[in-house]
Structure 1
Amino acid sequence: MSTIPVAKLPVPDLPGLLAFVRVAELGSFVRAADALGLSKAAVSKQVSALERRLGTQLLHRTTRRLSLTEAGQAYLRHAQAAFAEARAAEDAVAGTHGLAQGRLRVSAPMSFGVLHIAPWLGAFLARHPQVDVDLQLDDREHDLVQGSFDLAIRLGRLQSSSLVARTLAHSRVLLCAAPGYLDRVGRPARPDELGVHDCLHFSLAAVGRTWQFTRGDEVVRIALGARLEANSSLVLKAAAIAGAGIVRVPEFAVARELHEGLLEPVMPDWVMPGLDVHAVIPERRYVPAKVRVFSEFLQACWQPQPDWLSPRT
C-alpha cells in the first residue's frame, strides 16, 4: 500500500505566543516577566524571536511606552481566542472528573479583598491542596478574558451582560464619621444638612458625587463637593477616623471600627443603596471545578450572614 506524504506544518512558537500576549495585555515587559516568572530579557528575547519567525513587527517599542502595530492587534485577537479555546478544552476535561486543580486567577476590589477574602484563603488552600490562587487586587474593573482571570469578585451593579454572575452576599452602604468630628461640627439629621460638613468621596464610585437617601416614601438626592477624594476606601476610612469628615462607605469596610467606637453612624434612619457582592466568570461552556469550589467556598463563609455585619449588642 502506498503512503500519501503528509506536509509538515510549522509548530507554533508557544512560548513566544504566551510572552507576546502577556506583554500586550499588561503593557510592559517587566510586568509580563513578573507574571510569567521569567526575566525581562528572556521575555524580550521570546517576543523578538516570534517577530522574526512571523516576519513582521508586533510591537512599537520606545523608552516610555509600548503599543501594538496593526499586525500585532490582529495577532493578539487570534492568540487570545486560541488561549480561550485551550482553556475551554482543559475545563471540559477537568469537568469530567470534578477535580479542583490548577492555578486560579482571581480579581477583586482592594479593600474587600484585603478585609474579607485574604483571611479565608488559608482555609481554602488547605481544603483544596491541588489549587494555587493568584489574587490580584484593584478597584478598577478589568476585562476577565484579556486579563486571563478565571473569576472576579465585583460589587454593586454589573456593567457587562457577557458575564455569568453568582450573588454571594450583600453589604449596606453607610455614612459615618469620628465622634470627635461630629462633636465639633454637629450631627446632621437630614441629607440637606450635609452641605456644611466636610465629605470624603470615593473617586471610583459608580454613583459619582450624588448621594441618594431613602426614609420611608421619601427619597432625597444630594450632590456634594469633597474636601478629600481618593480611590481607596481604606484611605478614606483612615481619614475619617482621624477626624477629616463624613465618609460614604460600604459596611464591610468599617464594621470593626463602628463596633469599637472609632467611627459613628451618621443619619442611621436614612438608607443608602447597598451593594451586592458577585462572583463573575466569562461566559463559557464548561465551568472549571476550581472556579466552582472557590465561589461556593466564599458564599459558605458569608452565610447565613456576612462576616462584616456589625456585631449587635
Structure 2
Amino acid sequence: MSYSWFRVVALTLAVVVVTGCSKPETPQEVAAEFWQAMSEKDADTVVELSTLAAVSDFDSYAQDWSDIVPDFGRVVIDDREATIVTRLPVEDGVPGERREVNTYLVERGGDWLVDYDRTGEAIMNPSPFAGLIGEMNRLGERLTASFGQSSDDLSRQMDAIAREFEAYSDQTQRRAEQAMEKYGQALQGLMEELEKSIEEALEDNQQAPERERGALQRTAADLNRSSDRLDKPDFDAFADSSRALAEAGARFSRLSDDTFKSYKRTWDAKLEEITERTRAFFEELHGSE
C-alpha cells in the first residue's frame, strides 16, 4: 500500500479528530472514532458508533485500551459490509509490537457501524484464519451448485475470497510457508487437470458454436497462466487463482447443455474438489496456530 495512500488517510482522520463536530461517514472514519472511544472508555460513543445495544453491555472486550492509537491497513468494502485490518498494541508485549485483527463494520440505514460482537470475537480469539475458513465454507456451498447459480454472483463470491487472501497476506506468509507450498502444488495440479479436460472438450467438439469454443479457449489460457504462478505459491498467487476459477465457473454456466453436458459434470466435480482442498488448507493453518 502506497505511502501517499497512508498520508491521505492520516490527514482525513486528523481532520475528524480535530473538528469533533462532523459525524463520521466512511467505514474508515467510523473505525477511527470507535477505537478512540474505546481508548477513552466512552461507552456512549461506542454504542453510537457500533451495533452494541446498550451502554450496560459495554465490556471493552475485557482489555484496557487506554491511550491506544491503532494503525489501519487494507480496507475491503463489499456491499453493506466492510473489513478493516487494524493493528493494535500487544498487551504486555514489547514496546512497538502490534498484532493484526479485523474491525468489522455493517451498513444500517445509510450509516456505517462497527459490528461490536464480531470485532470482539476477532480481538479475543485473534486467529487470522477464522474468517477465511467461514468464507471458504460458504464458497464451497456455492461452488458445489455453481452451474445453477448466477455467474455474476459466483464471480463476486470468488473475488471476495481473493480480497481476503490479499488482506491477510503479510501475516500469513510469515506463518505458513510449508502449508502454502503443499497447497500450492495441489492446487496447481487440480487446475492443470481442469485445463486438460477443457482442451479435451474442445478437441471432441470442434463443431461447437464459435462463441462457446472461444470462451473455453480463454478459460484454458487463464487457468494455464494462473497455475504457472503457483510455481512459487504465495497469497497473491492464490488470489489470482481464485479469480481465474471464478471466471471459469461463470463461463461454464453460460455453456449450452447440448454440447458440453458431460464435461460440465466433470468440471463441476473438479471445482468441488478444489474447494474441498482449499478448505482443508485453511483448516490446516488454523490447527497449526
**TM-score calculated relative to the size of structure 2:** 0.30
- Structure scoring higher RCO (CA < 8 A, sep ≥ 6) equals 1
**TM-score calculated relative to the size of structure 1:** 0.29
**Higher Cα Rg: structure 1 or 2?**
1
The structure where strand makes up a greater share of residues is: 1
